[in-house]
Amino acid sequence: MTKYFTILPFLIYCSSAFAQDYTQFVNPFIGTSNYGATHPGAVLPAGMASVSPFNVAYKKGDGNVFEKDSEWHSRTYVHENNFLTGYSHVNLSGVGCPDLGSILLMPTTGKLELDPEKYGSTYRLEQASPGYYSNHLTKYNIKTEVSATMRTGISRYTFPAGESHILLNLGLGLTNETGAALKIVSHTEIEGYKLIGTFCYNPEDVRPVYFVAKFSRPADKFGAWKKMPEYTAEAAWTTYNNIYKPYNGYSYEMAGENIGTYFSFQTREGEAIEVKIGISYVSIANARENLEKEQPAFSFDQTAAKAKSVWNSLLKRIEVQGGTDDEKTIFYTALYHILLHPNIFQDVNGDYPLMESSGIGKTNGNRYTVFSLWDTYRNLHPFLSLVYPELQSDMINSMLSMYKESGWLPKWELLGMETNVMVGDPATPVLVDSWLRGIKDFDIDQAYEAMKKAAITTDGNKLRPGIEKYSTLGYIPEGAYDNLWGTVSTTLEYNISDWNLAQLARELGKNDDYKYFNKRALSYRNYFDKFSGMLRPRMSDGSWLTPFDPKAGANFEPVVGFVEGNAWQYRFYVPHDINGMIKLVGGSKKFVNELQRCFDEGNYDMANEPDITYPFLFNYVKGEEWRSQLKVRELIGKHYSNTPSGIPGNDDTGTLSAWLVYSMLGIYPHCPGDMSYALVSPVFDKVTIHLNQKYYPGERLVIQTEKNKPGDVIIEKVKLNGAPYNGYFIDHQNLINGSELLFKLKGH
Amino acid sequence: MTKYFTILPFLIYCSSAFAQDYTQFVNPFIGTSNYGATHPGAVLPAGMASVSPFNVAYKKGDGNVFEKDSEWHSRTYVHENNFLTGYSHVNLSGVGCPDLGSILLMPTTGKLELDPEKYGSTYRLEQASPGYYSNHLTKYNIKTEVSATMRTGISRYTFPAGESHILLNLGLGLTNETGAALKIVSHTEIEGYKLIGTFCYNPEDVRPVYFVAKFSRPADKFGAWKKMPEYTAEAAWTTYNNIYKPYNGYSYEMAGENIGTYFSFQTREGEAIEVKIGISYVSIANARENLEKEQPAFSFDQTAAKAKSVWNSLLKRIEVQGGTDDEKTIFYTALYHILLHPNIFQDVNGDYPLMESSGIGKTNGNRYTVFSLWDTYRNLHPFLSLVYPELQSDMINSMLSMYKESGWLPKWELLGMETNVMVGDPATPVLVDSWLRGIKDFDIDQAYEAMKKAAITTDGNKLRPGIEKYSTLGYIPEGAYDNLWGTVSTTLEYNISDWNLAQLARELGKNDDYKYFNKRALSYRNYFDKFSGMLRPRMSDGSWLTPFDPKAGANFEPVVGFVEGNAWQYRFYVPHDINGMIKLVGGSKKFVNELQRCFDEGNYDMANEPDITYPFLFNYVKGEEWRSQLKVRELIGKHYSNTPSGIPGNDDTGTLSAWLVYSMLGIYPHCPGDMSYALVSPVFDKVTIHLNQKYYPGERLVIQTEKNKPGDVIIEKVKLNGAPYNGYFIDHQNLINGSELLFKLKGH
């Protein structure tokens, strides 16, 4: 892969002088192939703005393999591609649906060309590190560098001598939503907005993202442009027919679908021009204020240094010793990916768009957005609760504000819009799990009210379609509801949410609720089909869906009863009742055999969430825990690597990365809301997690690992604070008290 | 023509009670066929906003014959058509190029339909009078009525019971410019802008027109909409593919090319909903202020009554007696069409867009726009100077402001943009003619400076391309200039401008200038080809263009050397030197013969401007004046009528109407800048023109006409203030002193 350069060699060389620099172990190219859907652009932790190279338009250049409009495509950047058409300033990381990837800035030279298919360029000499990305545009001999603050991006383009241009394109982008407006304010400033949305092709969710762009040097010439429609009868008189039309010197409002601006400069050899762009989801005025507050001057180097420093301050929360450079890199890069979403939504003045409303809210704290909860409730939020509880607290409070504003907790919240993507009621396990772990600085009564509303409302329940039959029949029958995706999967999700709510009810002394929800949490058993040993869709009359193929539905193929998976992949997804499941399937031995079959027969999918807790479930059967230890290590080796394809599939806003980080630490929260972690073999010799003492009594959690020889992965024994520790689960309370966990590993 | 109803019968019945109501004699349907390009919508004199039925989209309905995109089409309304897709709120009247015809409001009922091709409706029961238009939508059983103030429109839709909608469409329109943005402000208000321009397919001239729309009743539901692009690979997941997508309840900014809003209402039978729309070319805030100041309440009837009253106050400036109702109607309708353009450009607060700049100016007076000067300098401005000198004064001052703002006088100014349509330097005769007629309340020194700049600047002369060769050679040779349209025509135009400038120079005592320009004004003679008797294009070396066909170029066919005409149509276009031309062609008899041939052999075109003074030129030859009298009356009868096709062709912002009004009065300003009118036979028994005594000493001009028998058209004798008057020309001074002109007509 000749065009793939990281700045690792240099950084490693310097690492002795900067021992605290963990950004050296982040490779932002990981996940940019194999549908990981991450991008290598510049972004801060939880950054609202980001600056990503955009190379997914047109099958052109030195082989653009993937083209955004030729498939279901959710990536602003694909490592295999090599035709850059600009830098997008709002981007999602690791999501499965196209959106954002908009507000594209692109430098060019020579004759002004407005068609991105023509002005795009191949590139080489890519470099990326947290808060920084750079390449060299081969067509123009321009060095491009980008960095970011929380709500702004900055680009530095180093031009050759001659006629140079910087194009802002509001037409091209990843989002399927069309339409934009802009105004050239002066020779150094542009303002406007671009409509984004239709996430997952959902036509309802649309809003504008506002921006203000400022240039470090006044343009010698500027203008707007727009692609004109195709004229037929009038073609004879129409100068710009189905092509890009320049509006030279135009400084009124411009609106349309394929519009942009050009700023032209006569540049000296090696002259650098910087462009900073402020973003807001509230207004142009706020975008300008964000820009003025976060980047009052033009100082690319300072901005990039600040970004690196901010990253380091979060990454160093976990210090590792031992392991190879590649292991450290996949670990810290996963940590990096975890910290991208949910991200900040409010402007520097505290303004943010209210949930599901066109109103504007104001907050003194942090308002988060981009909650891909069907993914993240499983491990990412439990991870944040452990390592970054202050972030998780703000996220919880953001979720509760969404409830206050819209009447419902979020499911897949994107920029203040409930996209209703995926199924279940995943906010509940996030809230409960956080509370139980020790994050209690939110209004638990209101949280309970919000969760219970979703759990019991039968009329117009926006979060839990099918709740009526679910409550009365104990399962959701096939065919009873239009537009209800995956009766079995949805029921399983409701079960774990109910189980979580029950745990909290017990904590809060709401015993009736506890009993009710705890019982309802086991209703999945109604789907258990003794004949197949599977959870099998049922009809309203209680009969089984027939025919039934437990393998049908793998690889995201649609299948009746299940959501992004087949019966195998959902077979054991009752993490709150694995012991019950063991009985159902016929005992421990049968359970172990079937779980092993799941892996052996290719029914386990590392690239999607429903089954990602399965590798840890062998821990439930005494004497079989080695299977979890082996399997997890095998999956890490097979699916994760320090390469662009080093994430098994869509990162799902960090969920697959959270799986990796936990697995490498040797602890995994196998069931959200259950304070028990499954133990597997840690990868590193020593890991120190610096705990946030506002939430946890301990200063740090240390995980030490001793091996007899390199390659040992089987747990021989475990010690907690020097004392032998029995069992392969450990409770959260044991990790947050300043404990030291020691693993002694042996060969297989 | 079954769908053609005027409200004349009712008004005539009432006319004895309202003797002063001249609006009864205006038929706004005149000119809506035969490419007249007028519209029957509601508009005030010089109104910035107007509300016109828009029926030129789609070949549909009960036979839409003309379709805007299938030809060069400059009409918002064509009488032959019958498929209404809304009411446009900015419109041009009688222009030859497509523009404006935008901001379309349309009522519908039943299931919400957003595609104008589907929601359009046929209609019947059309009524139109100054400031009022109404019809009945057959598809929906909705009565629609519209009226206007200077900068706003109002619509009243009377709905049947049920689900009703009012759609605002910013995509459909006559302009070829695309792009719009809007925001639904509340359940009763929308704001936004639409880009307009590319007038005459000139891509450079583009700007936004801003609007605010307010509804008399809150919508029960509202939303935005947009036509989505065509998806191919993604079509499988895309709900709205190449169709109109509703954004229900959307109230953020919306931008795009084919966008709009719907406001839905549950209506009672016969419920009327009013919508008023304010327009501004400066800002949305100004559009709102215009609306609040001009229509503070919802009162359709009051607004319509006010509009009628304003029209009457101007129309009654000329009172006629005698003549048939049809004659009165074509006369007052022509007066109505004269008064539409130039129109007001400034907002109620005095703001207006500076000429050729994105800046905003402020005026205490009236700033006019839409100067189609190649057309209007010939007769419309001289007419305004005589009958409405206060309007002409404001127009002159507007033209001078344009010079101050942009450095050049206007040629074809549209909404602050110099479109450079047509040729010559027509501002000069307008300024000079006005000054000589007695309009002197403008800065004559600055005007002189501006005119002389155009007349003598050789480098970068924006108004007079070819000026260098014109000045040195005495003519513009073929092939010497790229993009110079019509060497002979352009020279002729420069000649008359030079002659005008010379007249003013003499007035101002600038004798050198007088001599120079007076001489240069005769340089057309260099084109006189003795062999053909024609003005013939020449090459740089002095040789004639060969081959040369004096008939080539009729009917707007392109031809070398001439602009929208052939050599015949330009043969006598030296109105300032007809006596010179008589000599050139070989004397009076030859001149009369050739002029008569021009008519007899079909070389005269009543539908375009170059030759419209020809019918009056027989007056130059003693004893042949009867030919002018007969010819003018014949042309009126042949080309003008009280029918939609009652204007010979494109009204050219009132120029063909001004020809009619003058011709019916019996006086015609045969040469702008020459204070002499040619006399022909008046149509009416008595005409009283109430003069503006701020400009003219006389209270009124009375033109009486006596006939021996109906049908007499030959002037037997003329009396001025009771004394016999000799000759067939009369000087302006004789008309503005309170004179009475008496014509005695006889049979032929």
- How sure is the predictor about A602, in pLDDT bands with cuts at 50, 70 and 90? very high
| CB-based contacts of B66, cutoff 8 Å, min separation 6 | B56, B73, B75, B78, B80, B81
For residues B209 and B218, give the distance between their C-alpha atoms in angstroms, rounded to a whole number. Answer: 25
Pick the residue of A67, A178, A187, A358 with the most B CBs within 10 A to test the interface with B by mutation: A178
Nearest to A178 among B70, B207, B229 (CB): B229
Task: Reduce the DSSP state of residue B660 to 3 states and report it.
Answer: helix
Judge whether A283 is closer than 8 Å to chain B, CB to CB. no
- Residues B255-284: what's their mean pLDDT? 98
Mean predicted lDDT score pLDDT of chain B: 95
Residues B201, A237: C-beta atoms closer than 8 Å: yes
A16 pLDDT higher than 60: no
pLDDT at B14: 41
pLDDT reported for residue B61: 64
- A179 and B226: CB-CB below 8 Å? yes
* CB pair distance less than 8 Å for A193 and B253: yes
Q: What is the ipTM of this complex?
A: 0.93
Our CA-based measurement puts residue A554 at a distance from the nearest CA of chain B, in whole angstroms, of 20
Q: Does B69 touch chain A (CB under 8 A)?
A: yes
Mean model confidence pLDDT for chain A: 95
**Which residues of chain A lie closer than 8 angstroms to B420, CB-CB?**
none
User: CATH 3.30.2080.10 spans which residues of chain B?
Assistant: 318-746
What are the DSSP calls for B705-726, one per residue? EEESSTT--EEEEEEETTEEE-
Interface contact A250-B206, CB threshold 8 A: yes
The encoded tokens of residue B228 equal: 């989505």
Nearest to B741 by CA among B732, B725, B729: B725
Element (H, E) at B298: none
The string of pLDDT tens digits covering residues A63-104 is: 789 999 999 999 999 999 999 999 999 999 999 999 999 999
Residues of A whose CB is below 8 A from B250? 206, 358
| Interface check B239 vs A, CB under 8 A | yes
**CB-based contact A574:A526 (threshold 8 Å):** no
Q: One-letter amino acid identity for B404?
A: K
Using CA atoms, how far apart are residues B31 and B484, in angstroms rounded to an integer?
Answer: 32
Inspect the interface and report whether the beta carbons of B234 and A193 lie closer than 8 Å. Answer: no
In the predicted structure, residue A176 carries a pLDDT above the cut 60: yes
Q: DSSP secondary-structure letter at A574?
A: -
- Exposure string for A214-228, b = 16+ CB within 10 A, e = fewer: bbbbebeebbbbbbb
Euclidean distance between CA atoms A86 and A99, whole angstroms:
16
Q: What is the pLDDT of residues B673-682, one digit of tens each?
A: 999 999 999 9
With the C-alpha atoms ordered B393, B309, B54, B263, is the resulting torsion angle positive or negative? positive
Place of tokens 């996949």: A330
Where, residue-wise, is CATH 2.70.98.10 in chain A?
8-314
Q: What per-residue confidence (pLDDT) applies to B655?
A: 98
Query: Quick one: average pLDDT of B15-29?
Result: 79
Residue A470 confidence (pLDDT) above 60: yes
CA distance B233 to chain A (A): 5
Least-confidence region, from A112-121, B17-26, B117-126, B576-585: B17-26
Compute how many other C-beta atoms are within 10 angstroms of the C-beta atom of residue A234: 17
Q: Give the one of A234, A254, A259 whose C-beta lies nearest to B176's C-beta.
A: A234
| Cβ proximity of B39 and B653 under 8 Å | no
A99-132: string of b/e by CB count within 10 Å (b at 16+)? bbbbbbbbbbbeebebebeebbbbbeebbbbbbb
% pLDDT > 90, chain A: 95
Question: Which residue from B69, B248, B257 is facing A234, i.e. has the nearest CB?
Answer: B69
Whether B271 and B195 have beta carbons less than 8 Å apart is answered as no
pLDDT score of B60 more than 80: no
Q: How many CB pairs below 8 Å do chains A and B form together?
A: 110
CB contact under 8 A, A256 and B256: yes
How high is the pLDDT of residue A592? 98
- Residue B569, pLDDT > 60, answer yes
Tens digit of each residue's pLDDT (9 = 90 or more) over A181-209: 999 999 999 999 999 999 999 998 999 99
B207, B250, B252: best mutation site toward chain A, by most A Cβ within 10 Å? Answer: B252
- Contact between A338 and A657 (Cβ < 8 Å): yes
Beta-ladder partners of A84: A121
Of A207, A256, A358, the CB nearest to B178: A256
Interface residue B230 vs chain A (CB under 8 A): no
- Whether B185 and chain A come into contact, CB under 8 Å, resolves to no
Contact B181 A181 (CB under 8 A): yes
pLDDT of B423 strictly over 90: yes
Q: Is the dihedral of CA B628, B632, B633, B638 positive or negative?
A: positive
Tens of pLDDT, residues B629-660? 999 999 999 999 999 999 999 999 999 999 99
Is A208 within 8 Å of chain B by CB? yes
Q: What are the chain B neighbours of A69 within 8 Å (beta carbons)?
A: 231-234
Min mean pLDDT across A118-127, A442-451, B2-11, B736-745 is at: B2-11
CA A256 to chain B, closest CA, distance in angstroms equals: 4
Contact assignment for B179 to A226 by CB distance below 8 Å: yes
What pLDDT score does A325 carry?
97
Which residues does B452 contact at the CB level (< 8 Å), separation at least 6? Answer: B501, B513
Within 10 angstroms of residue B282's Cβ, the number of other Cβ atoms is: 24
A201/B contact by beta carbon, under 8 A: yes
d(CA B507, CA B505): 5
pLDDT, tens digit, 9 for 90 and up, residues B432-453: 999 999 999 999 999 999 999 9
How many angstroms away from the CA of B177 is the closest CA of chain A? 8
Cα dihedral A553→A558→A563→A569 (10° resolution): 10
**Nearest-neighbour CA in chain B from A21: distance (Å):** 43
Q: CB-CB: which of A72, A248, A253 is closest to B181?
A: A253
Residue with tokens 């501004």: B280
Other beta carbons less than 10 A from residue A14's beta carbon = 11
Q: Most A CBs within 10 Å: which of B178, B284, B358, as the mutation test of the A interface?
A: B178
Question: Does an H or E element contain A493, and which?
Answer: helix A487-507
* pLDDT (mean) for A423-441: 98
Amino acid of residue A728: Y
From the options 3.40.30.10, 2.70.98.10, 1.10.287.90, 3.30.110.30, give the CATH code of A8-314.
2.70.98.10
Tokens representing B431 are 């300024």
pLDDT band at A6 (very low <50, low <70, confident <90, very high): very low
Nearest CA to A159 out of A268, A86, A53 is that of A268
| A281, closest residue in chain B (CA to CA) | B252
pLDDT at residue number B62: 67
Q: Do B70 and A233 touch (CB under 8 A)?
A: yes
The secondary structure of residue A458, as a DSSP letter, is: -
Q: Do the chains contact at B208 and A253, CB–CB below 8 Å?
A: yes
> Could you read off the pLDDT of A387-403 as tens digits, one per residue?
999 999 999 999 999 99
Over residues A263-278, the pLDDT tens digits come to 999 999 999 999 999 9
Averaged pLDDT for residues A659-685: 98
Helix H or strand E encompassing A699: none
Q: Which of A182, A162, A145, A142 has the alpha carbon at shortest distance from A264?
A: A162
Q: Is A251 on the interface with B (CB under 8 A)?
A: yes
Q: How far does A416 lie from chain B, in Å, by closest CA?
A: 13
The answer to whether residue B176 neighbours chain A at the CB level (below 8 Å) is yes
Measured between alpha carbons, how far is B186 from B166 in angstroms, rounded to an integer?
15
Predicted confidence band of residue A557 (pLDDT cuts 50, 70, 90):
confident
> Is A242 within 8 Å of chain B by CB?
no
Residue A318 touches partner B, C-beta closer than 8 Å:
no
B27 φ, ψ (degrees, to nearest 5): -115, 95
Q: Output the CATH code of domain A318-746.
A: 3.30.2080.10
CA distance A489 to chain B (A): 22
A178 touches chain B (CB under 8 A): yes
Query: Where does the pLDDT of residue A554 fall: very low under 50, low under 70, confident under 90, or very high at 90 and above?
Result: confident
Residue B286's pLDDT band (cuts 50, 70, 90)? very high
> Tell me: the pLDDT tens digits for B598-622?
999 999 999 999 999 999 999 999 9
How close is the nearest chain B Cα to the Cα of A207, in Å? 6
Report the relative pairing of strands A87-90 and A102-109 from DSSP bridges: antiparallel
Considering all CA atoms of chain B, what is the largest pairwise distance in Å, rounded to the nearest integer? 88
pLDDT at B402 over 70: yes
HSE-up of B378 (CA within 13 Å, CB side)? 26
- Cα separations in angstroms, A469 against A352, A408, A571, A577, B301: 38, 20, 22, 22, 58
Q: Tell whether A483 lies on the interface with B, counting CB pairs under 8 A.
A: no
Contact yes or no for B642/B27 (Cβ under 8 A)? yes
Q: Determine the residue of chain A that is closest to B257 in CA distance.
A: A256
Rounded CA separation A306/A289 (Å): 19
Contacting residues of B for A231, CB less than 8 Å apart: 69, 176
- pLDDT given for residue A60 in this prediction: 74
Instruction: Give chain B's count of helices (H) and strands (E).
Output: 19, 35
Of the candidates A281, A252, A325, A314, the residue with the CA atom closest to the CA atom of residue A103: A281
- Give the closest residue to B4 by CA, choosing from B138, B147, B123, B155: B123
Token pair 């009752």: residue: A574
Looking at the partner chain, which of B204, B226, B255 has a beta carbon nearest the beta carbon of A181? Answer: B255
What is the model's pLDDT at position B422? 96
What distance in Å separates the CA atoms of residue A267 and residue A160, rounded to the nearest whole number? 7
Beta-bridge mates of residue A502: none
pLDDT higher than 60, residue A12: no
Find the mean pLDDT for residues A633-647.
98
A61 pLDDT band, cuts 50/70/90, is low
Say which DSSP state A354 is in: P
